[in-house]
Amino acid sequence: MKQCLIHDNSLRFSKGIYGILTLFAFLTHNHWLVFATILLMILGIFSIKLNILYQLHILVLRKLFANGSEPIRKELGELNFVSAMGSTLLFIGFLFLYFGKFVYFAWSLILIVSLLMFLSYFSGVCVAASMYVFFKKIFKR
């Protein structure tokens, strides 16, 4: 599998901001903010260079706060899967909200995804990355 060099702190920063955006959308019941977050996450599926929040952290914030951590190797498929899984779950919630069906379920789903993003930000444990490893082992057989 293809691997790339990733700044883990920058990746965690982008997940934290996604979590903040979705939590704020949940608290204000703003489904368009959910949609904006989905669009930002979808860009990360295609390339890490299109992940705007990741690039913001690398280009601006790391230099301001002198955070010179070394990049680590990550599998490109894992990064794409994590972005795709998060944006898909949020998109399902957005569609339910947009069409006015299962509204409480949709907001619950958005809140759960937000909390999982915060879990990934604070502890470094990403449920979607764990799912990727699990599926990779199953389908490798």
Query: Exposed/middle/buried for 104, CB within 10 Å: 0-12, 13-18, 19+?
Result: exposed
Whether residue 8 contacts residue 106, with contact meaning beta carbons closer than 8 Å, is answered with no
The CA distances from residue 57 to 24, 93, 106, 107, in Å, are 21, 28, 30, 29
Whether residue 84 contacts residue 39, with contact meaning beta carbons closer than 8 Å, is answered with no
Q: What is the pLDDT of residue 29?
A: 95
- Tally the domains of the chain: 1
User: Structure pTM?
Assistant: 0.88
* 3-state secondary structure at position 5: strand
Q: What is the pLDDT of residue 72?
A: 82
Residue-wise pLDDT for 52-91, tens only, equals 988 888 888 666 666 666 778 888 888 899 999 999 999 9
The per-residue pLDDT string of the chain (141 residues; one tens digit each, 9 = 90 and over) reads: 688 888 788 888 899 999 999 999 999 999 999 999 999 999 989 988 888 988 888 888 666 666 666 778 888 888 899 999 999 999 999 999 999 999 999 999 999 999 999 999 999 888 998 999 899 889 887
DSSP string, 59-125: IIIHHHTT--PPPEEEEHHHHHHHHHHHHHHHHHHHHHHHHTSSHHHHHHHHHHHHHHHHHHHHH--
Q: How far apart are CA 89 and CA 60, in angstroms?
A: 30
Whether residue 22 contacts residue 110, with contact meaning beta carbons closer than 8 Å, is answered with yes
Q: How far apart are CA 118 and CA 123, in angstroms?
A: 8
Q: How far apart are CA 94 and CA 115, in angstroms?
A: 17
Q: What is the pLDDT of residue 47?
A: 85
Q: What is the pLDDT of residue 68?
A: 61
Q: What is the pLDDT of residue 10?
A: 84
* Domain limits for position 80: 3-140
